[in-house]
Every structure is written in structure tokens, then in C-alpha cells.
Amino acid sequence: MPTLPWTVPNPAPPHTEVHVFASRFETRTLWGALRFLARTPGVWRQVSRAPGAYGASLKAEPFKRTFWTLSAWESPAALKAFARSGAHAPTSQGLSTQMRDAKFATWQASSGELPLGWTEAIRRLT
């Protein structure tokens, strides 16, 4: 699966601060990576209509068993509401035993910096 390009569910208002979230997941096995991939479309559909989501992208390296996410949100509360609902909630719970490692990073950015690039996210996660 190639990188899913930056998708904008809701345009960010100009001159506002956005909450950026990045993650890196590594599965224990190739089977775990395949399970992650199988559940990606449902979560991606949820992101595409999530209230408070200003943009998101996914980078998948299934043969390395590694997945990266990068997203921008209206607030930490909007991100939390997304994570605890829809397809994301059961997916994250169901895949937790498949994970070898997970890293997360958050920071603030200006809406003028959107769409976000991968360079800064990867730097913060490594």
C-alpha cells in the first residue's frame, strides 16, 4: 500500500493553531501487518468525515511491519473523540496484541503549515 495522500475532511480556519498528532506502529508479525492493512479502510473512512479533523495521511510499510500516521485536528478533544469512536476504537483495541512497538508525538502548528509533511513527523517519532 502506498502512502495515502493528505486528505482534508474539514478545511482549517486561516490563522489558527492546530493540534498535530503523529504515530508509528510496528507489528510483531507479518500477519499483524496484514490485519492492520485489512482494517485501514474503515478507519480511513472515519477520518474522512471526522468532526474537527483538518487533515490526515498514512504511510504503510507492510513488509517492514511498520505504519505511520500524521494528522491535524481542531483540538486534543477532537482527536480523543475520534480515537474513542467509530471504526477506530475497536480496531485499536483489536490490534493491540499485534503491536511490537508504538510511538506517539503531538505538537502545535499553524493552519498555514497545512498540509503537513512527513519529515518533521518522522523526526519526532525516531
Per-residue pLDDT tens digits for 94-118: 889 989 999 999 999 999 999 999 9
pLDDT at residue number 30: 96
Burial classification of residue 36, based on how many CB atoms lie within 10 Å of its CB (0-12 exposed, 13-18 middle, 19 or more buried):
buried
Domains of the chain: 4-125 (3.30.70.100)
| pTM score of the predicted model | 0.93
Q: Supply the pLDDT for residue 93.
A: 87
Q: Summarize the confidence of residues 81-106 as an average pLDDT.
A: 93
Query: Would you tell me how many other CB atoms lie within 10 Å of the CB of residue 18?
Result: 25
| Residue 122 · residue 67 · CB < 8 Å | no
Model pLDDT, residue 1: 56
